[in-house]
Each structure stands twice: as C-alpha cells, then as structure tokens.
Structure 1
Amino acid sequence: MTRIFEGRVFPTRAIPQGLGGWLRWGPLSGEALLEVADHTGVQPAAVARTDCGVDGPVRGLRRTVLLVACVVLPACAQPAPTPTTQAVPSPAPGGTAGAPARPPSLALRADLANLLWKAYVPNSLSDTVTVVDVRSRRVLTTFRVGHAPQHVVPSYDLQTLWVNNNGGNSLTPIDPHTGRPGKAVPVDDPYNLYFTPDGRLAVVVAERLRRLDFRDPHTFRKVHSLSLPCVGPNHLDFSEDGSFFLVSCEFDGRLVKVDTASRRVVGVLQLGDMPQDVRLAPDRRRFLVADMMRDGLHVVDGQALRRVAFVSTGVGAHGVYPSRDGSRVYVTNRGWHTVTGGRRGPGSVAVLDGRTLRVVLRWSVPGGGSPDMGNFTPDGRELWLAGRYDDEVYAFDTTTGTVVARIPVGRGPHGLTVWPQPGRYSLGHTGNMR
C-alpha cells in the first residue's frame, strides 16, 4: 500500500501509532482519497475530512493522525536593504566552505556577474519549469522536464542548475548562461539534492527509497548508498565545519545526524510532528528545523543532537532562509496542515531576529496564498517564493515586506531558485550558498 502525491510515494508506515491506511493522490489531478483500515480504534469518521484543508479539525488531530486527506474541489479555486552585489574573481576549487548564514562575500563571482537574473520555477503538477525575468517580472519560457520536478538546485561549482525530477527518476541540467535544458541524467528518486562542503560528492535525497545516495557531482555515478532509519527524508544542512549534517524525515518526525566523512548515521532525534526544511542558524552552532504541523521552528543543538527551543512562526511552517548577513531569518508558512493544501490559505512569511530568533515581523499575502520555497534576488532586496497551492510566484520586498509581484506559473510550483547568487559554492537545495 502506498501514498502518491506529486510523484512522491510513501508506505503505510508513514502513518503513526499503528493507524493502517494510505493516501493515494492522482499525481496530476490533485485529488485525494483517504482509506483507513482501523488497527487502533480510530474509525474513519474520526479522521478529519474537509474541503480545502480547513484548519480547525486538522490541528485538533495533528498529534494523532500525521496526515489527513484534503479533497480539493473545483469550488476551492477561489529589515535593512542588502548592499548591491559586485563581481569578484572565481576562487580555486577545494577547501571547506564557511557558514551559510554569513558567507565571506556578498558579491557575485566574476563568471556569473553578467548573467540575466532569472527565477527557475519547477511546476510539480505540470512536469515543467517556468523561467521568469526577475527584473521585468516577465515569463520568458516554459519547458517540459521529467515527471514531478521538485527543486531547482545550483551545482557546487555554480555552472549548472539541476531540476530534481522526483517522479521521473532523473535530473535535468539547465545551462544558466542560456537558460536552456539539456539531456536528463538517470538518477533514482531525486527528491532533493545537496553537495558535500568539499565538493567531492553530490548527496541525492531519495525520499521514497528512504536513503541518501552519494554520487559523483558531475556524472552522478553512484558511489555509496546510506539507508536511513526513518520515513520521508527530504531536507538537510551541514555544520559550520562540514563534519556532519542533519536530515529531516517528514513522515515520522525524526531528525537524523550523519557523519560526512564516514557517511554513517551517528544519531537520531525524535522531534515529532512533521519536520521540513533544515538550516544552520546564524550563530553557526544551532540548526533550525521547520515543522509544518507545529507551525514553527525547532531549535536544535547539532553537536548534542538536542532540541533546545521552539519558535512559533505561522500556519504550516516550511522553508527557512537566513539573510546573507545573518541579521534576519525568514520562515515561509504555507498556510495549511495537509500536503495537498488549498487555494488562498493564510500563508505568510515570519521574520526573525537572527540573534534572538524572536519573531519581529510577519508578512501576509494579500487575499491569501501559500509561500513555499525559493531564494533571494542577487542584491537581497527581494525574496522570491513559489505559491505551492496557488500556481503563482511571489516577490516580497525585504525592506517593506510587501508583495511587489505575483506571477502566474504552472501547476504546483515548488522549490524555485533565483540565479545567479552571491557566494563561493552551492551546497544544494534552492541555493544554500557559502
């Protein structure tokens, strides 16, 4: 028995506390069907079943039932400016990158300085990528890729953008100089993609297969596979020195610690609920783990693998984006507690003080929305985010918090990247730069 959505397939074990059953979503229709085989006395009628993912019943059951079905009906379709970037010479490859929250330079590499600023948007339900001119807000092109593209990931050497075709078992390369796709590379279950800090290995997060595949970062030949003791691994980030990284497991609430050199699991922390994005905090010691069902961030001591605090940010916390100077942390809140979401939900962006991790501002989406994942513009003046359940992209002004652009794209936009980005290397995802 499996659950399928946007090309992502999960086993029955993803539902906790012995509750048998599964969700089967048509990967392109967005329909949801819940079937429950009772093993714990919880009857199907007790499981929240709502139109458009209504929040109340879901929150009440969130600690008992990890996932609920949302039947998406047709009726539901209703801080200080960052310095301007400058070009710097490209560094020689090798070595370990610095902390992501405070990269050594806010400048674009010389070989990237003349690139047109573009947003590359993977549309998971359309099997396409939409390319947008950041300055003019104009859609330049839309092209087909593999099935269920999830994220667009800059390569470690910043020369290629990789589209993660999760459902199609492939990676599609994009040349950032031309914006054109190349021939897809076969790779098993690439939900997400990262790179070790020394640049020697790519780390493919195979969510359905519950493993990490370490591969050559250019040919993607598999070097090693690491099975993980959890369900639904999907996001990770590295410690400051790169010696270890933490992986979130969305469907059983675990955080797994992996030693980078030995490629072995060295610890597991049970967070509970539904962890999402993972980022190293501006202090370079703690990690920030978004939790969709808890509506906020777990603050985790990475060395001790211990939760030390929790910060409430908003409904459906998902993405974590430290500013380049570390003074702010931006948290995207999708506005829903179901993976199918709904139209025009209470999505928002919470702005945290980078030192205290207290929420100092909260930006809303006029009329409702579903900000998911993205990145900053090269000058840091805007934060571009995919509207996951609303088939659009938002550009937030990082000084005022206003939505300055709202651009229609394909169906189910997910992990967009804005390119180019300042920094020496990419550690993956939508542009985790160091």
Structure 2
Amino acid sequence: MKRQRAWIGGSILALAIAVLGSDSAVDTAQSFTIPTACANPALCASLCGGFVEQGRTEGDFVRLASYQLGAPQPMDLPAATLSTPAPVDPKNVYAGAGAGMFSPAVAGQLSRVYSPNLITGKVDVIDPDTFKVIDSLDAIPSPQHIVPSWDLQTLWVSGDLSYRGGHADVAPIDPKTGKVGKPIDVPDSYNLYFTPDGRSAIMVAEAMRRLEFRDPHTMALQGYIATPRCPGINHADFAPDGSYAIFTCEFGDALAKIDLVHHTLAGMLALTPGGMPQDIRVSPDGSVFFVADLLKDGLVLVAGDSFREIGFIKTGVGAHGLYPSRDGTKLYVSNRGTHNIAGVRNGQGSVSVVDMTSPRVLATWTIPGGGSPDMGNISADGKWLWLSGRYDGVIYAFDTDDGSVKTIPVGGMPHGLTVWPQPGRYSLGHTGVMR
C-alpha cells in the first residue's frame, strides 16, 4: 500500500477502486488508468492538470483522464553482454548476501540509512551507529522509495506521480558522498526494480498499469509491458534463474507473472478473494513466493513455476513488508497494524519472524505503545531490522536477537527506506533486494 490517503473518504475510495478495477474501460494501446488520488473530479482539477469528469460514466472518466502514451513499441534492448549471475548456493538464493559479504563495488560508500518522507518531501539520513538523523536531502517532490541500482553505484529516489499533476521524477544519490544528482523526469516512478541480468531498470508505473523497461543508468525508455488486469501493480521478486518475475496487484487481489526472456505478460493468478497483496519474496530454494497480504493479516504462499496458490501463514494485522535474514533462513514480516489504508497512529503494528523452511511463525515482536512498521531493510551484519513507522512519523530499529526496538523521530510520513551499503553481488531494486 502507498500514498497518504487520509483525505480520501470512503465513497471516493470506492470510486477509486472501481475505476482501477474497470479493465473493460482500458485501451491497452493508448489509455491507462488514473492514480487513485485523482478519483475525485475536484482533486483531478487541481492535482492532475485539469482532468474533469463532466458527469460521464466511470469508463468515460478513465478514458478522459488517462495518459495518452501512444502504442507500445518493440523492446529496444542493448545486446546481452551480461547474463544473470548463478546463485552462490543453488539451495539458497540469498547466500551471496550474507553478513558482511560486501562487493568491491561498495568500497568507500557511506554507512547510512536513507528514509524518504512523502509529507516533508525530504530524504532523511540517519547514522546507523548513533541512531541519529544527520542530514535531510532535497531530491524529488514526492519521494517514496530509496532503490539501490543493479551495479551498486547509485541509490535512486523514486516518487509518486499523484502529487505532481501527472508527473514524477527519479533522482540519483551518490552513496560515496550522500549528495543528490539531477532528477530525471519520467511519467510514473512509484517503484523501481532491475532485471537480474542488469540490462534494464523496471519502472513500475503503477498508475498506468505498465512496467517500463529503461536504461539502468540514463533511464531512457527501452519499451514496456502493459498489465491492464493488474490494478495497483507494485512489488516484485524474481525466479532464481532470472527467467521470470512475479508482481503483486494491490487493488486486484491478484499476481502478474512476467516472462523476462520474451518480455511478455505470461499470466495472471487470481488469489483467494478478500485480500490486498503487498510485498513479495522468494524462498531460499526459489520454489515458493511469500506474498504479504494486508487484509488477510498474513502470507499467501504461491508456487512460482506452476503459478498457483498453495498455502497461507497468519502473521499479524496488516502484513506488508518482507525481509530475509542474512543467513536466508528467516523472513521478517512488517505488520502495519491496521487495515485502514489511510493509516492510524499507534496501531497494532508488529514484526513476525517466519521460518522460511517450515514455514511457520517463530516469534512476534510488538512495539510499546503501538506503531506502524512499513518498509526498510536489514543491517549489513544482520543485527538490526530498520523499518519506517509510516503513520507515526518515526523510524524503527529492531534488535534481531531479542526484538527490542529503538525509535527515531523524523515526523511526516517516512516510507521506503534503505540501509546502505548492503552485502550482495547485485541489487534487484526496491529497498534492496540483494543477491
């Protein structure tokens, strides 16, 4: 889940979801759905460049307010000079990102926690040794995630288009200096991943229901895959051999499987009704994908190759983010503490520790006084789990030995933070999906 929606009432939200779900109204060659923040005509007038409903049907509204992007173009990919690196251990895709296993590529980079804040528009910088905020960066107007590049040389700040009238940016941070470079204008940069072979960045254009393949350095468009039946396309993880990725459809209670060899939408999987899939993470052996579900309060288990739902694990209220331990045996699940998509302060937030081999819940860590743990990552030594407290204006650092927590006030709405540098040979994106 994403974006602040405290100002969206129930009826507006219902319209937003109805619009996002009306696939019959989507012309995949030209028109894509509007962001949920623009579901109200008055908001569209101010936030989306004067889009108005004019009393028409939802289908007409989608067409009227959609982004005219032209027909899909053939993929213009560079020659395959790289292949997906083989796993260090075929039985553990995380074996190359164990404690302290730094690539030479991160030598000289600053040890920092970078936390984007949607309300303040800043990127807060924390010293992980002192647990104190030491800087506040201007990057892009609506920062959502801090995303390590495939080659580990750049931290990209991705943003939310709905706060800029239909525009978004990505901005690079130099991890050696902590300085922000020149932003690059893109249509929608809500989330960002990288293909396992490093040839492309995958810009998750959630509001437009498409995956944009871009040059991983310049962000020049290489082509895109339309996903018209995946409203709220958002988080992803990848098969061990890099042949496919599975993306969650937050507003569609479904998953999209993307063929990364032929660059096509390979299929859709409708999950058991009543859910809202969030983050997704592959098991160490690559056979199962764990899908956090905000409304089901747990993890949906999906067999990746056969692409079918095979199980469920109850964790906590509002399951959202997923982070593997440094040895790849455990999965830390951030439970947001509420089903309210606008968020609540001091909710029933917690972290569940899941044994990925059983799989079963080993422990649950609560937050004194309540909270809203959201997104983040693990420290390089595996001793701390850093998470944004999205609706409480704080950053959490959980001790992975006993679950005790330190709280760092930052105000506003912190979201997709990352801890850097991370162990690993390369990054698949998001807040640090490392291999």
1:92-103 → structure 2 map (5 Å cutoff): 95-98=84-87, 100-103=93-96
> Equivalents in 1 of 2:256, 2:238: separation in Å?
12
Q: 1:237-285: CA deviations, max 9, x gaps? A: 1001110010101011110101001110111111132000011112311
1:126-145 → structure 2 map (5 Å cutoff): 126-145=120-139
Q: 1:2-57: CA deviations, max 9, x gaps? A: x9849999563336999xx9965989xxxxxxxxx9x9xxxxxxxxxxxxxxxxxx
Structure 1: 5+ residue runs without aligned partners?
A: 28-36, 40-91
User: Which of 379, 395, 398 pairs up with 2:397?
Assistant: 395
User: Which of 318, 321, 328 pairs up with 1:319?
Assistant: 321
Q: Is the 8 A contact 2:98 2:327 kept in 1?
A: no
Moved more, 120-129 or 141-150: 141-150
Q: Which residue of 2 aligns with 1:73?
A: none
Q: Which residue of 1 aligns with 2:52?
A: none
Q: Which residue of 2 aligns with 1:151?
A: 145
User: What is the identity, as a one-letter code, of the residue corresponding to 1:101?
Assistant: Y
Structure 2: 5+ residue runs without aligned partners?
A: 25-35, 45-54, 58-80, 162-166
Cα distance, 1:116 vs. partner? 3.2
> Equivalents in 1 of 2:344, 2:23: separation in Å?
27
Q: Which residue of 2 aligns with 1:223?
A: 222
1:251 pairs with 2:251: yes
Q: Is the 8 A contact 2:376 2:387 kept in 1?
A: yes
User: What is the identity, as a one-letter code, of the residue corresponding to 1:266?
Assistant: A
Q: 1:170-210: CA deviations, max 9, x gaps? A: 10110111111111011121110000011000000001001
More helix by share: 2
Cα distance, 1:102 vs. partner? 2.9
SS in 2 for 1:212: strand
Q: Could you say if the C-alpha distance between residues 365 and 100 of structure 1 is closer, same or farther in structure 2, counting changes exceeding 3 Å?
A: farther
Q: Could you say if the C-alpha distance between residues 146 and 252 of structure 1 is closer, same or farther in structure 2, counting changes exceeding 3 Å?
A: same
Cα distance, 1:310 vs. partner? 0.4
Q: Is the 8 A contact 1:246 1:256 kept in 2?
A: yes
Q: Which residue of 1 aligns with 2:19?
A: 13
> Equivalents in 2 of 1:375, 1:355: separation in Å?
21
1:125-204 → structure 2 map (5 Å cutoff): 125-167=119-161, 168-204=167-203
Q: Is the 8 A contact 1:128 1:410 kept in 2?
A: no
Q: Which residue of 2 aligns with 1:406?
A: 407
Q: Is the 8 A contact 2:258 2:264 kept in 1?
A: yes
Q: Could you say if the C-alpha distance between residues 6 and 141 of structure 1 is closer, same or farther in structure 2, counting changes exceeding 3 Å?
A: farther
> Equivalents in 2 of 1:410, 1:157: separation in Å?
32
Q: 1:114-147: CA deviations, max 9, x gaps? A: 4332110000122111000000112111122223
Cα distance, 1:148 vs. partner? 2.0
Q: Could you say if the C-alpha distance between residues 155 and 352 of structure 1 is closer, same or farther in structure 2, counting changes exceeding 3 Å?
A: same
Q: Is the 8 A contact 1:380 1:398 kept in 2?
A: yes
Q: Could you say if the C-alpha distance between residues 6 and 95 of structure 1 is closer, same or farther in structure 2, counting changes exceeding 3 Å?
A: farther
User: Which of 378, 381, 384 pairs up with 1:379?
Assistant: 381
Cα distance, 1:298 vs. partner? 0.5
> Equivalents in 2 of 1:263, 1:16: separation in Å?
25
User: What is the identity, as a one-letter code, of the residue corresponding to 2:125?
Assistant: V
Identity %: 47
Q: Could you say if the C-alpha distance between residues 181 and 304 of structure 1 is closer, same or farther in structure 2, counting changes exceeding 3 Å?
A: same
Cα distance, 1:108 vs. partner? 1.2
Q: Which residue of 2 aligns with 1:335?
A: 337
Please, what is the CA RMSD of the aligned residues? 2.8
SS in 2 for 1:108: coil
Q: Is the 8 A contact 2:126 2:133 kept in 1?
A: yes
Q: Could you say if the C-alpha distance between residues 4 and 345 of structure 1 is closer, same or farther in structure 2, counting changes exceeding 3 Å?
A: closer
Q: Which residue of 2 aligns with 1:424?
A: 425
Cα distance, 1:325 vs. partner? 1.3
Q: What's the TM-score, normalizing by structure 2?
A: 0.79
Q: Could you say if the C-alpha distance between residues 199 and 317 of structure 1 is closer, same or farther in structure 2, counting changes exceeding 3 Å?
A: same
Q: Could you say if the C-alpha distance between residues 17 and 197 of structure 1 is closer, same or farther in structure 2, counting changes exceeding 3 Å?
A: closer
Cα distance, 1:95 vs. partner? 3.9
User: What is the identity, as a one-letter code, of the residue corresponding to 2:408?
Assistant: I
Q: Could you say if the C-alpha distance between residues 220 and 355 of structure 1 is closer, same or farther in structure 2, counting changes exceeding 3 Å?
A: same
User: What is the identity, as a one-letter code, of the residue corresponding to 1:96?
Assistant: P
> Equivalents in 2 of 1:419, 1:100: separation in Å?
20
Q: What's the TM-score, normalizing by structure 1?
A: 0.79
